[in-house]
Structure 1
Amino acid sequence: MFKTLFRKDPALEAGRALYAAAVEQARTPALYDRLGAPDTVEGRFEMVALHVWLVMRRLKGDEGAKKVSQCLFDAMFQNMDDSLRELGVGDLQVGKKIRKLAENFYGRIGAYEAAMKDDAPEGALAEALSRNICEKQMAETAPQFADYVRRADAHLQNQPAARIVGGIVVFPPVE
């Protein structure tokens, strides 16, 4: 009886592990040095959001992965909530800021998904990345950034869903 009370939720553990992997990849120096992502709080959020989206995109359509994908999303926004509180944002403002971050995240997902479609115009992904990540500052490196995102997407698509649902994901090198 007590074993069921203290048993860990595998989906929750997997979501947290996937989030940790996405954050680790988002901290790769080459994203900032070579590809032009701004090394700011906003730029770091964009990199985390991008990598979380890539994992969620891989899990999309797999019925067994829905809960893990939701746990990944929850882990991301719980971390954002915790970070805002650590920065001294008041309790009344945290909810508003998290809501705004979630809206931004869903906006990015819509733009990136549309740009990744087979019938999307050439350069659509580079344009979406440049617009969302750092506006015009990244215009020169946006095509290389788009190549990285496409490589990362293909790399994730080639990984078994069962492995990712288990909390193990491997991103390709940025270079």
Structure 2
Amino acid sequence: MVFPFGRRRPSPGRVLLDRLHADIVGAVRQPEFYLAYGVPDTFEGRFEMLALQAGLVLRRFNAAAPPGPDVAQDLVDTIFAHLDADLREAGVGDITVPKRMKRLCEAFLGRSAAYDAALKQGHAALVDALARNVYGGQAPGSGAVRLAGYVEATDAALDAVPLEGCLAAPLPFPDPRSIPLRTAP
């Protein structure tokens, strides 16, 4: 017989945050981004996609009425707890983890602010922000243009669902294969 002593069931809030995190990570792991969009399939490239996808979700939650902003903050905490665990699992030393986490946090918040501003300025600004961050400063190419289309579609999909819908069901990330390739920013 297995005794349940000392074992805690996760709180409903923890279950929700873990599900939201899993939805975001699932979107980040779509092979299409790395094969057709040209996002570098490296730690840095995946981090950029995490910052992008999570930033869009956080943008949506922060724009909502309460409890949206509180859920957004808890989701940021969850994302960074997972990043911390991932770094440790990858063998990054205990002494180095806090320094690396500080740099990742600054980069994450900077990217989120840059993408939010670019979405407000329009498609060309978004393409430039993506080229600068996701594609390492390369001149905006077809990958950045297509990724901008994906970002705009994701932003629209998230805005179309009420906060309660985002909290009750999987996040509405579009299929990256469904985004048509544009020829110009």
TM (norm. structure 1) is 0.88
Given candidates 98, 104, 108, the residue that maps to 2:101 is 98
C-alpha distance after superposition, 1:68-102 (max 9, x if no partner): 21221112111111111112211111111001000
- Counterpart of 2:36? 34
- Does the Cα contact within 8 Å between 2:127 and 2:140 map onto a contact in 1? no
Task: Give distance in 2, aligned partners of 1:122 and 1:77.
Answer: 29
Displacement of 1:122 in angstroms is 4.8
Displacement of 1:8 in angstroms is 4.2
C-alpha distance after superposition, 1:133-162 (max 9, x if no partner): 122176332111101100011011111210
Between the two structures, name the one with larger relative contact order (CA 8 Å, sep ≥ 6): 1
Q: Which has the higher helix share?
A: 1
Paired residue total: 168
Provide the alpha-carbon RMSD of the alignment.
1.8
List, as ranges, runs of 4+ consecutive aligned residues in structure 1 with deviation greater than 3 Å: 6-9
- Counterpart of 1:63? 66
Structure 1 gaps of 5+ residues are: 1-5
- Counterpart of 1:3? none
- Counterpart of 1:78? 81
C-alpha distance after superposition, 1:95-117 (max 9, x if no partner): 11001000000110111011011
C-alpha distance after superposition, 1:6-58 (max 9, x if no partner): 67433332121111001001111111111111111111111111111111111
Task: Give distance in 1, aligned partners of 2:35 and 2:10.
Answer: 39
Structure 2 gaps of 5+ residues are: 1-7, 178-185
